[in-house]
């Protein structure tokens, strides 16, 4: 038969287990209440920018250093960039050098001083965007003479981690 002492021990064990579970859940809930996710995730991170991102524009390939020790980048994938001296150092080879960055943290804290050459490149060397100028035209998008007036301008070039600092 069942002993009364065994039943009491099992009841106390169950109550004790429930109490321990309750205390553990209380502390977990308290820790979760304190946790606040970062307000703005840091991406790309500092290491990525020092090793990869700050060297060349998005879609370009890092090919080493030039004779001055600056980063040498090649438009290997033929990203749409104007063939001009502002956008390439060597138009035929599609290469451009950018100042070497040793301490990305210092550069991003004062982008006006340290990233000005990259920001200028971003503003001048983006892809061409062609649009129809719809001012003074009829409902079909045609001018009174029946033609379509197309305008073009340069968009900003893509450079992850740098463009947002400009």
Q: What is the pLDDT of residues 64-110, one digit of tens each?
A: 999 999 999 999 998 888 888 889 999 999 999 999 888 888 887 88
> Three-class SS of residue 155?
coil
- Largest interatomic CA distance in the chain: 107
The number of helices, as runs of H, and strands, as runs of E, in the chain is 5, 5
Asked whether the bond before 44 is cis by omega within 30 degrees of 0, the reply is yes
Please state, in angstroms and rounded to a whole number, the distance separating the CA atoms of residues 40 and 29: 24
* pLDDT band at residue 151 under the 50/70/90 scheme: low
Q: Can you give the pLDDT at residue 105?
A: 81
Strand segments (E) across 32-162:
61-65, 71-74, 95-98, 128-132, 150-154
- Per DSSP (E only), the strands in 10-160 are 61-65, 71-74, 95-98, 128-132, 150-154
Start-to-end CA distance of the chain, whole Å, equals: 83
Question: Higher-confidence residue: 43 or 124?
Answer: 124
> What's the whole-model pTM score?
0.62
pLDDT tens string 26-52: 999 999 898 887 777 666 777 888 788
Domain ranges of the chain: 1-36, 46-165
Q: Identify the burial level of 152 via C-beta atoms within 10 angstroms of its C-beta, where 0-12 means exposed, 13-18 middle and 19 or more buried.
A: exposed
- pLDDT at position 137 is 56
């Amino acid at each position: 038969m069942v002993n009364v002492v065994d039943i009491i021990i099992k009841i106390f064990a169950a109550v004790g287990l429930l109490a321990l579970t309750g205390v553990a859940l209380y502390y977990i809930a308290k820790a979760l209440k304190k946790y606040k996710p970062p307000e703005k995730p840091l991406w790309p991170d500092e290491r990525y920018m020092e090793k990869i991102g700050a060297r060349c524009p998005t879609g370009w390939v890092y090919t080493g250093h030039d004779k001055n020790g600056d980063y040498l980048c090649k438009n290997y994938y033929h990203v749409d960039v104007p063939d001009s001296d502002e956008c390439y150092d060597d138009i035929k080879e599609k290469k451009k050098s950018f100042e070497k960055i040793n301490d990305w943290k210092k550069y991003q804290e004062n982008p006006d001083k340290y990233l000005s050459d990259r920001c200028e490149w971003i503003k001048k060397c983006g892809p061409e965007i062609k649009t129809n100028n719809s001012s003074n035209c009829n409902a079909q998008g045609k001018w009174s003479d029946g033609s379509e007036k197309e305008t073009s301008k340069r968009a900003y070039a893509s450079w992850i981690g740098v463009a947002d600092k400009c």
